[in-house]
Every structure is written in structure tokens, then in C-alpha cells.
Amino acid sequence: MYYVNKIADDFVLRTATVDDAVLISQYFSDNREYLKPWEPERSEAFYAPFSWRERLVKLHELHRLGMAYYLLIIDKVTGHMLGTISFSNLAKFPLYSCSVGYSLAQQAQGQGIMSRALTMACDYMFDECNVHRINAAYMPHNQRSAAVLKRIGFAEEGFAPQYLLIDGQWRDHCLVALLNPHWHAE
């Protein structure tokens, strides 16, 4: 099983476990209004620990199979959750790609945390999972997300009208990708 555990000066980036249900539900509850414009509409159950416990059992199996990764960004001092990074749609031969999504707590904005955590996470996917391409999408008006992706090296690839159902409306997205310069055949 792949288990991510990367340490920075001020945070830890690690794979979520079933024991993180309360921590994750608290993060999403605390940031509910802040994240609302950037995420799909959520049911009340999404914010409950029991719901996260069930979701994490499934994610654990996907981690074990190398099919998806749900990572947490945890403050080293306080132990509070600062954000999430998730890799989904992992495909091997002949595509060797995945998609990435992320969120960051309101109080953690503007500190470079997501740029550093996402770099660590993408490096893991390249080095340990031998992914060739990581795809991402952001809404054109989300300039913070655009800046993070550009800073890391994601390149613009296209535009997708009405791409994702976000906050109850079909939203346009800019499509970007990061390629692994050191990819090798398995």
C-alpha cells in the first residue's frame, strides 16, 4: 500500500486514515461558507463524522489498490487540518495519468502552504506512482488556484465550458496539466 507522509517546516502532508473522520468533518464544517463557491453542493451528511468514516473506509481500499489518494495537510504545531489534496481517476498503461483537486482552509490562505504541499504531492505521484500526467481544472475567476498551478508548473491545455457542477451551477473551467519529466516505462 502506498502511504504518503511528507514533512515540511510547518506542516505534514499525509494520507488520510479512517481515524481522521472527526478531523476532516471539522475542517469542512469550519470552512463550509468559505469553500462553498469552489465546491459541489454538499448534503448535511457530508459534514458529519459518520459520513466521513464510511467514505474513508472506501478511500482506504482505493489507497491500498493505488487507485486514488486522499491527502491531508496538517499543521505541525496545532495538529489542525489546513487542507486536502486528492488524486483520482488514476490510470495506468497507456495513459499513466490522474486528476488532482485540492482545498485550503481560509486561515491558511496566502502563506504558500498549498504551493508547497501540492508540489510535494505531485512529486510523490511522479516518483512513487510513476504517473506521467497530472490533470487539474480551475474556474477562470479563481485566480489564487490559477497562480498555485502556474507556480508549480502546470501548463494551460484548454477551456471546458460548463465543465463541473459547482455550487449548484455548471461552471466553465480552464484545463491544465503537469507532465513528469522523469517518467519511465515500467
Domains in the chain with CATH codes: 5-179 (3.40.630.30)
Q: Which residue has the cell 473522520?
A: 21
Does position 177 have pLDDT exceeding 70, yes or no?
yes
What is residue 2's predicted lDDT score, i.e. its pLDDT? 57
What element of type H or E holds 34?
helix 32-35
The pTM of this model reads 0.94
Q: Which residue has the cell 512513487?
A: 128
Helix (H) or strand (E) holding 27: helix 21-30
| Chain centre to alpha carbon of residue 131 | 15
Amino acid at 130: N
Alpha helices in 88-136 (DSSP H): 113-127
Q: Per residue in 77-102, pLDDT tens?
A: 999 999 999 999 999 999 999 999 99
> How are the residues of the chain apportioned to helix, strand and coil, as percentages rounded to the nearest 5?
35, 35, 30
Q: How confident is the model at residue 35 (pLDDT cuts 50, 70, 90)?
A: very high
User: pLDDT over 70 for what percent of the chain?
Assistant: 98
